Structure 1
Amino acid sequence: MRHLRPLLPTSRTARGLTLVELMVALGIAAMLAVAAAPSFTEYLANSRLRENGNNLYAQTLYAQSEAIKRNTVVRVAVADSTITVSDRTDPDDPQTLKTTPLTHGITAEAFTLDFGGEGRPVGFATADVDFAHPSLSCSSDIRCPGLRVDGGGSVRLCADHTGSCE
């Protein structure tokens, strides 16, 4: 009995890519990467700014809730790229409740805000804290967030500190 085999062509066709095709594809990929690089840089900067803004927002809300829970004065402060929340029951001997660093070299204006036992800033004080990127200036592409605390105790994180934060 004869075995049936598919007939193979006498000359095999080459499979895969030629060097020229590979170099053209690599060139196109490189051009796309160069075109996307500025957008990626802005994305990273905005991400890092927002991350630190959310961090300060969370720590401010934590300080406010601890002031209500403890029925005493709790301070949130930013100094030297560190966020510190402390219990100020005894002003001469404050207890640090939480310390969190600002990351990725992001800076924020130094500020101090005390929340009273009712959750409002002591003396109805207000606070405006803006963030900045170490190497990029804030613009419509680089959105530097800003934290706003009003005298009634409302805490808001604005997407862009150059705006009105409404």
Structure 2
Amino acid sequence: MRHPMPKARGLTLIELMVAITVAAFLLMAAAPHFADYSNNSRLREGGTTLQTETLFAQSEAIKRNRVVRLTTSGSTVQVLEAQDPANMTLLRERTLAGGVTAATATVDFTPRGYPVNRAVNPSVDFVAAAIDLGLPGVTCSSEQRCPGLRVDAGGGIRLCGNKLSGC
């Protein structure tokens, strides 16, 4: 007498291979977007670091009642006490992570927190400043959003999500 076979449970090898093939096609379709996501994330992190250092420079100028300078060069951001430009004191130095670079720029904040261009007129020339960020080998576009930091002449500091979209 034959015993009835128990009902099969689980996946067959063919079902498993089909699922793996579908997953592989989905990953291949999404792979280019992973690189965009990674680059955008690194640029956004660099922008946030630059904005934090700019706010720090402005608040230190107000707190110390002295001129404080923010300088960017490559991936280095420095905040210096610059009351006497011939004898500046380094307050803080940060490196932008992930290979992000910033345009070379210098912004001096007065004891009231306003940005000035001391090279042109050290006492009254309130100026706006723009510092754009980039990543070597990456062309900024609507998909690759390179942020830009803007310091308004009135002292407002904002980080634009994409420097190309009129921030």
Partner AA of 1:59 in structure 2: E
1:93, distance to aligned residue in structure 2 (A) = 2.7
Residue 33 of structure 1 corresponds to 27
Give, in angstroms, the shift of residue 15 of structure 1: 2.7
After superposition, what is the alpha-carbon deviation per residue over 1:47-70, rounded to whole angstroms, capped at 9, x for unaligned?
Answer: 111111111011101100110111
Shift of 1:145: 0.5
Q: Offset of 1:135 from its aligned partner?
A: 2.2
Aligned Cα root-mean-square deviation (Å): 1.4
Q: Which digits, 9 at most, give the CA deviation of each residue in 1:6-64, with x for residues without a partner? A: xxx52233332222111111000101111111222211111111111111011101100
Which position in structure 2 is the counterpart of 1:3?
Answer: none
Cα distance in structure 2, aligned partners of 1:103 and 1:67: 26
Q: Which residue pairs with 1:67 in the alignment?
A: 61
1:24 to 2:18 alignment: yes
Aligned to 1:135: 137
Partner of 1:4: none
How many residue pairs are counted as aligned between the two chains?
Answer: 157
Q: Does 1:146 align with 2:148?
A: yes
Determine the C-alpha separation between the residues in 2 that align with 1:96 and 1:125. Answer: 23
Give the whole-Å Cα distance in 1 for the aligned partners of 2:6 and 2:17.
24
Q: From 65, 79, 84, give the equivalent of 1:85.
A: 79
Which residue number corresponds to residue 88 of structure 2? 94
Structure 2, gaps ≥5 residues long = 117-124
Question: Given the two structures, how large is their TM-score scaled by the length of structure 1?
Answer: 0.88
Q: Does 1:47 align with 2:41?
A: yes
Whole-angstrom CA distance in 2 between matches of 1:160 and 1:45: 13
Deviation of 1:133 after TM superposition, in Å, equals 1.8
Percent identity of paired positions between Structure 1 and Structure 2: 50
1:109 corresponds to which of 103, 112, 120: 103
Code of the aligned partner of 1:53: G
Structure 2 counterpart of 1:110, which letter?
Answer: T
> Which 10-residue stretch deviates more, 139-148 or 33-42?
33-42
Which has more radius of gyration? 1
- Give the corresponding residue for 1:155: 157
